[in-house]
Amino acid sequence: RMGYTAPIGSTDQDRVRHLTVALPPQYAARLFDAQESGSGEQRLREIAAEALKEVYFQDGGRRAGSLEEVRFTDIEHLEFDL
């Protein structure tokens, strides 16, 4: 489940999403660096949510420009491949 914070009047209810997306290299590097430095699961979730905000919700700046924050509310399965 992912939800987001957006301006009043938008539909920001969290819901289950099944995604297959490529993360920009800078986010993958941030995830690996955070993991290597011993960051907790919450920090890893925050970085992944930032990446999905840019890639999935905002489509690299082409839509949802007023979107403020994306958050994971529940994770059933998360997998990253290189």
pLDDT tens digit string along 20-40? Answer: 888 889 998 999 999 999 999
**Longest distance between any two alpha carbons in the chain, whole Å:** 40
pLDDT at position 9: 60
Quote the distance between the C-alpha of residue 26 and its chain's center. Answer: 13
pLDDT tens digit string along 39-80? Answer: 998 999 899 888 888 888 887 777 767 777 777 777 777 776
- The phi and psi torsions of 51 (rounded to 5 degrees) equal -65, -45
* Residue 1 predicted with pLDDT over 70: no
What is the identity of the amino acid at 79? E
Are 49 and 2 a contacting pair, CB within 8 Å? yes
